[in-house]
């Protein structure tokens, strides 16, 4: 196989023998193939593809389409019935929950055992153990048997191991669906770093995540490879197919082809130059409060996470507080969405800062930036400097969007300089956690308060 390829599969297939009863299995052993007492089930059939080094490929398909079977054969934990698969480099995989762990062993013992399966010596594991334990962040449970772990703790430990074994190929099968927002974003940051040099196979039912992480994708259906191409195109075709299954055979969904077709990985819209409009960052909100026409009934719990937040610091300036409050300054732990709020960032300088910048970004569980802002638009017009030992604060007032159910992390940072030339002195990935429950937002990453919705006959 060419050194430029990481994975090559040729005519790959996996067949299982399905017996109606234990008696049939015994008879099959006795007749030694002269008669068949079973029926064949092909979990995967005639699948061929190549993955280049450094490529990230998404794999999509409904449950039972053969995705996990394919990954197991790529990893070598399952032998193919037909065809072959060849890999080039060390593979690290996060497949089914707890795979590769002995439930009777402690977390520490499982780290050593799992790492040895990836070819690491005991000395190498000992040298990296503190990093693995820090990534997993399960505290004293590291010394407890993993049979006492929750599903989230299983994934934390398993991902921590594969993140530190110097893999060339990383296989992730729906693992990020388990775990809180802080850990999921930690995994996403690792995946983004890994993508710079490594090869990634990523399985998910989240088409947004597939399109964001993967340039190309493969679509499996009933054990066969039915499509491969740009992740956006594959995701669109797969979503159409799932929608077709929902509406049944009475209505046929036809894909639309309008305008100029874009090449792999792109859109015709990519050719449109962006339009930049002036933004007013000050002034009064003169819009009247109009009751929303659609009740989203959201409940957003706000939890400070500053002591546990990860990131980096130079020691020359420090974020000392991050809070999301109502516009009257009251620190209410539960918000509904749509109300006026303010994000307050507090910081202290250890050295003189000529042009300090405070900013925040709200991210979803996959690390996608939803919204945020920094003080540059204000300080460019009215520069503010602080002296060593001084404290300073930024207040951002806005209407809180309606967010779908899930957890969201607020990144906060303090820097000094300009947009193109600055030094990040303190950067925290998850300084604040928002947990949204009972939200009825159904479409998109955020919801907006619709003031009126009408449906009427037209002449």
Distance CA 356, CA 375 (A): 9
- Residue 97 tokens read as 């929950």
> Which domains, and CATH codes, for the chain?
5-247 (3.40.50.300), 299-437 (2.70.50.60)
Q: Is-contact 79 73, C-beta < 8 A?
A: yes
Q: How far apart are CA 397 and CA 404, in angstroms?
A: 21
CA distance 334 to 326: 10
Strands 5-18 and 82-87, how do they pair?
antiparallel
* β 356-363/406-417 pair status: antiparallel
Q: Check if the beta carbon of residue 299 is closer than 8 Å to that of residue 438.
A: yes
pLDDT tens sequence across 61-119: 998 899 989 999 998 889 999 999 999 999 988 876 556 788 899 999 999 998 988 88
Return the SS3 of 307. Answer: helix
CB atoms within 10 A of CB 345: 25
pLDDT, average across residues 375-400:
88
Q: Which of 214, 204, 199 is nearest to 87 (CA)?
A: 199
Cα 102 to chain centroid, rounded = 27
Strand segments, DSSP code E, in 112-176 are: 169-173
Q: Which residue reads 């004293």 in tokens?
A: 140
pTM, two decimal places:
0.66
What is the tens place of the pLDDT at every residue in 332-383?
677 877 788 899 999 999 999 999 999 999 988 777 888 999 998 887 778 8
Percent of the chain at pLDDT > 70 equals 85
DSSP lists the bridge partners of residue 171 as 93, 201
Tens digits of residue pLDDT in 248-307: 666 565 554 544 444 334 443 332 222 223 333 344 444 445 555 556 667 788 888 888
CA 335 to chain CA mean position, Å: 25
């Amino acid at each position: 196989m060419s050194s430029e390829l990481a994975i090559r599969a040729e005519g790959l297939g996996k067949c299982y023998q399905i017996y109606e009863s234990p008696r049939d299995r015994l008879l099959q052993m006795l007749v030694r193939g002269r008669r068949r007492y079973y029926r064949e089930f092909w979990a995967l059939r005639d699948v061929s593809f190549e993955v280049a080094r450094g490529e990230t490929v998404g794999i999509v398909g409904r449950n039972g389409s053969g995705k996990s079977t394919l990954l197991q054969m790529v990893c070598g934990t399952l032998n193919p019935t037909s065809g072959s698969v060849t890999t080039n480099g060390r593979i690290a995989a996060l497949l089914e929950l707890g795979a590769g762990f002995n439930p009777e062993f402690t977390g520490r013992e499982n780290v050593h055992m799992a790492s040895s399966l990836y070819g690491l010596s005991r000395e190498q594991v000992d040298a990296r153990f503190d990093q693995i334990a820090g990534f997993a962040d399960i505290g004293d449970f590291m010394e407890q048997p993993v049979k006492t772990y929750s599903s989230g703790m299983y994934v934390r430990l398993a991902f921590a191991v594969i993140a530190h074994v110097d893999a060339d190929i990383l296989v992730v099968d729906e693992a990020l669906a388990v775990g809180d927002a802080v850990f999921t974003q930690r995994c996403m940051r690792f995946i983004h770093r890994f993508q710079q040099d490594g090869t990634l196979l990523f399985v998910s039912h989240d088409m947004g995540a597939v399109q964001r992480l993967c340039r190309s994708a493969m679509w499996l259906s009933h054990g066969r490879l039915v499509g491969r191409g740009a992740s956006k195109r594959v995701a669109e075709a797969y979503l159409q197919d799932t929608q077709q299954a929902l509406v049944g055979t009475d209505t046929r969904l036809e894909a639309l082809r309008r305008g100029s077709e874009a090449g792999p990985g792109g859109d015709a819209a990519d050719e449109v130059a962006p339009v930049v409009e002036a933004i007013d960052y000050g002034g009064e909100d003169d819009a009247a409060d109009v009751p929303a026409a659609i009740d989203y009934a959201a409940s957003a719990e706000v939890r400070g996470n500053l002591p546990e937040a990860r990131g980096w610091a130079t020691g020359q300036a420090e974020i000392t507080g991050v809070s999301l409050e109502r516009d009257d300054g009251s620190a209410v732990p539960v918000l509904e969405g749509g109300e006026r709020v303010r994000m307050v960032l507090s910081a202290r300088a250890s050295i003189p800062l000529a042009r300090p910048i405070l900013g925040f970004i709200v991210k979803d569980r996959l690390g996608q930036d939803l919204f945020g802002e920094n003080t540059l638009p204000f300080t460019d017009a009215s520069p503010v400097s602080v002296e060593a030992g001084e404290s300073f604060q930024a207040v951002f007032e806005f209407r809180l969007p309606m967010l779908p159910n899930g957890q969201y992390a607020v990144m906060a940072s303090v820097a000094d300089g300009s947009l193109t030339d600055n030094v990040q002195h303190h950067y925290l990935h998850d300084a604040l956690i928002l947990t949204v429950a009972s939200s009825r937002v159904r479409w998109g990453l955020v919801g907006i308060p619709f003031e009126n919705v009408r449906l009427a006959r037209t002449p």
